[in-house]
Amino acid sequence: MLQSLGGMELYAEARAQNARLLRLLTVLEDTIRTHPDERRALLDKAGMELQASVHLRREHLYPLIARYDGLDALTQALERERGEMLRTFERLRQIPPDGSEFQLLIELVNGQARALAEREERELFPLAAHAVPPEQAARVAQAHLENCA
């Protein structure tokens, strides 16, 4: 969670969310021989992290960034990719955690999450850090903090 309210912390929190989600999905992918209840618990943790990530982006980060020239199309593309990942994740939640389909979907979600995080890191965050005034990002970080409190 954000500890201070500088503009760069908004991007740092988004990066940290990506790292936590990818770590959970990687652990989940590597638990093929783990008891189904443990896999379901890991899936629930990943779902909570995914929900926090979606909230930060949809409510705060993407609307802020989309205001700046040329970044609206990028945030829309990222949101479409995130929507695909969420649909795959929801399919995953509907199936038993001890089957081969679960493993295939976990690998797919992990790949989607990784590609999305890499695209944010490579394209979105550098452009946003350059285009968005730090004081504006700090205000959005403050709003996010207040919303999470």
In the chain, pLDDT over 90 holds for what percent of residues?
A: 56
User: Is 1 domain-assigned?
Assistant: no
- The tens digit of pLDDT for each residue in 28-87 reads 988 877 888 999 999 999 999 999 999 999 988 899 888 887 789 999 999 999 999 999
Q: Are 33 and 19 in contact (CB under 8 A)?
A: no
User: Is 90 domain-assigned?
Assistant: yes
Q: Where are the alpha helices (DSSP H) in 2-131?
A: 7-29, 36-55, 62-66, 71-93, 100-119, 125-131
Q: Mean pLDDT across the chain, nearest whole number? A: 88
Scored b (16 or more CB within 10 A) or e, 29-57 reads eebeeeeeeebbebbeebbebbebbbebb
Q: What integer is the mean pLDDT of 81-97?
A: 96
User: Is 84 domain-assigned?
Assistant: yes
Q: What integer is the mean pLDDT of 12-20?
A: 93
Task: Tell me what pLDDT residue 147 has.
Answer: 72
Supply the CATH number for residue 96's domain: 1.20.120.520
Structural domain including 53 reads 7-148
Q: In angstroms, rounded to a whole number, what is the distance separating the alpha carbons of residues 24 and 148?
A: 21
- Band of residue 1 on the pLDDT scale cut at 50, 70, 90: very low
Residue 95, CB half-sphere, CA atoms under 13 Å: how many? 15
Give 133 or 62, the one with higher predicted confidence. 62
Q: What integer is the mean pLDDT of 97-111?
A: 93
What is the tally of structural domains in the chain? 1
Report whether pLDDT(3) > 60: no
User: Is 137 domain-assigned?
Assistant: yes
